[in-house]
């Protein structure tokens, strides 16, 4: 494994299991907008909100942005804490921090919500920077979020940075930003999905991820 010193973590499906809150907010939004949930709701876990409303609900761009607002209204009051930290995550972060890694979060969730979630669960102290989508509609793609986070970390060399996430959009976004990605199997994606998208490494558990990184 290449020697990495900067680790960017996805949030949903990587640090916390937020599926309950996400699904409740999508159902609420579908009801308000008069739309139907997709046949396989699992596809909604991971991609940016606007992209999901266009791709899986058949909305045009303008309607999708209205749906994002409805979703975020519920998420900001109820959904964000319908959530829990995966077992082994605090221990993994502690080990990595103690061993000198620079840690940050790069999520397509609105940054203001990501900050509140990580503070609530006592994880924010591990991260040098927490970056996410802008509440104003900016930074909607994973690549944009990654580039924003790296800018705020002093633009470290790309070959020293590793993205860590559970879905194909984490892998694709990292590759587009010029960095590699470790796919994790405790979240919402499959090993096949991650491998086909080009994940450089696969970790089965948080402890396994720490083991791989500490063995560099």
Name the active-site residue from 10, 12, 17, 168.
10
H-helix segments, 87-159 = 89-98, 111-120, 142-152
Task: Please identify which residue in the block is written with the tokens 């749906």.
Answer: 67
- E-strand ranges in the chain read 6-9, 16-17, 84-85, 102-110, 129-133, 161-165, 180-184, 201-203
Q: Is 196 exposed, middle or buried (0-12, 13-18, 19+ CB in 10 A)?
A: exposed
Residue 10 appears among annotated catalytic residues? yes
> Which tokens belong to 103?
């840690």
Q: Which of 87, 141, 79, 86 is nearest to 114 (CA)?
A: 79
For residue 158, the 8-state DSSP code is G
Residues annotated as catalytic are: 10
């Amino acid at each position: 494994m290449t020697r990495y010193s900067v680790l960017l973590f996805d949030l949903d499906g990587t640090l916390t299991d937020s599926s309950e809150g996400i699904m409740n907010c999508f159902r609420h939004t579908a009801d308000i907008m008069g739309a139907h949930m997709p046949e396989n709701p699992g596809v909604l876990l991971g991609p940016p909100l606007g992209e999901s409303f266009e791709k899986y609900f058949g909305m045009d761009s303008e309607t999708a942005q209205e749906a994002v607002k409805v979703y975020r209204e519920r998420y900001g009051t109820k959904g964000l804490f319908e959530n829990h930290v995966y077992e082994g995550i605090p221990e993994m972060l502690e080990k990595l921090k103690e061993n000198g890694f620079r840690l940050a979060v790069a999520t397509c969730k609105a940054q203001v919500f990501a900050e509140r979630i990580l503070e609530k669960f006592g994880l924010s102290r591990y991260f040098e920077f927490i970056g996410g989508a802008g509440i104003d509609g900016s930074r909607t793609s994973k690549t944009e979020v990654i580039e924003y986070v790296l800018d705020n970390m002093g633009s470290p060399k790309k070959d020293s940075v590793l993205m860590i996430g559970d879905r194909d959009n984490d892998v694709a976004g990292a590759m587009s930003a010029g960095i590699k990605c470790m796919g994790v199997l405790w979240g919402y994606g499959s090993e096949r999905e991650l491998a086909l998208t080009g994940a450089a490494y696969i970790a089965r558990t948080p402890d396994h991820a720490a083991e791989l990184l500490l063995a560099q």
